[in-house]
Amino acid sequence: MPRMDYLFTSESVSEGHPDKVCDRISDEIVDLVYREARKGGVDPWSVRIACETLATTNRVVIAGEVRLPSSLMKTDKNGNEVINPSRFKSAARRAIRDIGYEQDGFHWKTAKIDVLLHSQSADIAQGVDKSHETRDTEGSNDISEGAGDQGIMFGYACKETPELMPAPIYYAHKILELLAAARKSGEGDAAKLGPDAKSQVTIRYENDKPVEVTSIVLSTQHVDPSWDSKKVREVVEPYIRQAMGDLPIAEDCVWYINPTGKFVIGGPDGDAGLTGRKIIVDTYGGAAPHGGGAFSGKDTTKVDRSAAYAARYLAKNVVAAGLAEKCTIQIAYAIGVAQPVSVYVNLHDTGKNVTEVEVEKAIRSTMDLSPTGIRKHLDLNKPIYAKTASYGHFGRKPGRDGSFSWEKTDLAPKLKAAVKNG
């Protein structure tokens, strides 16, 4: 039997956290590539990008493999077409500026940026461009893509919040979102907060339902070196209470606000950052498994990204359809093969007159889970990824620009009908 009464904790990090700076730069580059493809009349299905970023004191290194539209290339002195680094450097500087870094140790104007991108491996490309199933079918005109790598991806949804996300990660994100908005708008003393911050929320559950907050941890950078922990709490506590909404904060809740004291030096100047080091923050805060692959910096042939979005979409629609209170979905792939090797569903003993096997069959019948099928169904070949780089890839509002399409619940009626019809 699962535990019904317990404490559970999740953490979030702000857009100015060193690792999140790197995620943002990598995703700005993904958006740049998709945007330039569309502007230049290049088929967005053909572009490839796997971009990793490292940031430290006044230094950014961008590396990875790409297949780019010609507008992002240039001709070298030998007449060879090579990657033009200037467009990528500009994208990185814009991201750093928008986050808010204008410090001596990390400044959007003065940071040295190295671009070490290179062409995608032909050995990988052959399996992605044309799937194993297609290559083995003589005379086939099918253009179905193979998965960009092997791997397992997870999706999760539950009824703890209106967005069908686990409560601890939802509220940990919300705290930092509100503080960032106040900082950027110049609101009172919040304008003196810095971009780098981390939050952590512990929630007490009764009968498997979140009932109150028992611990709040927040460490936030500030520009005034005279501030102590007491002053920081005075500034941030109203935003924390606002973020909690209707969820009660226990009378004996333990507050740790800047528990180490002064936090003036932050961001990549205080600690080096790398793309893809905050994958649990990006997903479900530890309330559900993670397959291990990061999302940021990858085009959507990479199932690390697209299949994780599909798994969340399916799990959310299962819960939205009223088939279960909780749902975990695992999808697994082999490199160069279009269709998943397995689909696994766990309803955590909350299924409503339905079995996991029935839900698995319904999933297979309502959505094509090949990389091509996912990209088409969720309309992923768009410059919509920079905004995913902070405050989670899930539990967000679908945008008019097509962003967060995996958060829609438009598949719920079809899933429900598929289960009913067997």
Please name the amino acid found at residue 304.
D
Q: Is 169 in contact with 396 (CB distance < 8 Å)?
A: no
Three-state secondary-structure class, residue 311: helix
Measured between its terminal Cα atoms, the distance across the chain in Å is: 29
DSSP class of residue 191 equals: G
- Do the Cβ atoms of 299 and 48 come closer than 8 Å? yes
For the record, the structure tokens of 230 come out as 């007491």
β-bridge partners, 255: 216
- Residue from 144, 228, 230, 220 nearest 183 by CA: 220
Return the active site residues.
Answer: 17, 19-20, 52, 65, 198, 263, 271-272, 277-278, 298, 302, 304
Q: How far apart are CA 188 and CA 235, in angstroms?
A: 9
DSSP 239: H
Single out the residue of 284, 294, 256, 106 nearest to residue 195, CA to CA. 106
Q: What angle do CA 126, 130, 135 make, to 5 degrees?
A: 100
CB atoms within 10 A of CB 184: 16
Strands ordered across the beta sheet of 151-158: 151-158, 326-333, 342-346
Cα 197 from chain centroid (whole Å): 17
Q: Which two tokens stand for residue 356?
A: 């996991």
Q: CA–CA separation, 96 vs 311, rounded Å? A: 31
* Residue 118, strand partner residues: 65
